[in-house]
Amino acid sequence: MPPMPPTGSMSSMGPMGRLSAALDRLHSRVHGVRALGYFTWFVRILLALGFLPSGYRKIVDEPFTVAESLGEIYVMFTALHQDFGALYVFIGLCQVGAALLLLVPRTAALGAAVYLPIITGIVVITVSLDFGVGTPVVTSLMLVGAVYLICWDWHRVRPILGPPRLATAGGGDGAGARG
């Protein structure tokens, strides 16, 4: 269960402290909804299934696309496969690694953190090139799913970003309170 926000007078917190405390309370309530726990597992499994086949193809150094009728998309993926050597395999390893991390409860937050920049790059590619309508929609939904998982595991991600700032004696937001 996520940690509860620090106790103390809400009036002594700055605006960011109050927002942080409100988000922590919301996060705690959301984690109490059993259906959202099942939904979270559903999202983790779907996202993992989205990366496993494409990552595997890259790891075994197979081309990602084979249809030359795809035009510039085919040219881009062929160049990535043929001209970038180890980068192609590394991308595949990252995809498979992120997928596997998502499926283990203890490492799911790390999996979502690894998944997020990969799927962000994929969304940029699918929106920038002529992938039609379907592919950018699917990849964007995958991005939303990754952001959802980061939010779900916020209690695990938040400490990485640093401790919450404490309010100063003058009632400020604690911008200078870190030490």
pLDDT tens-digit series, residues 150-179: 999 988 888 887 666 555 554 444 444 443
Cα four-point dihedral sign 127, 132, 135, 136: positive
Domain count within the chain: 1
Residue 110 lies inside a defined structural domain of this protein: yes
CA distance 65 to 43: 26
Residue 22 lies inside a defined structural domain of this protein: yes
CA distance 44 to 101: 9
CA distance 95 to 54: 8
Residue 117 lies inside a defined structural domain of this protein: yes
pTM above 0.85, yes or no: no
Residue 173 lies inside a defined structural domain of this protein: no
The domain in which residue 28 lies consists of 14-161
Residue 122 has pLDDT above 90, yes or no: yes
Residue 136 lies inside a defined structural domain of this protein: yes
Residue 170 lies inside a defined structural domain of this protein: no
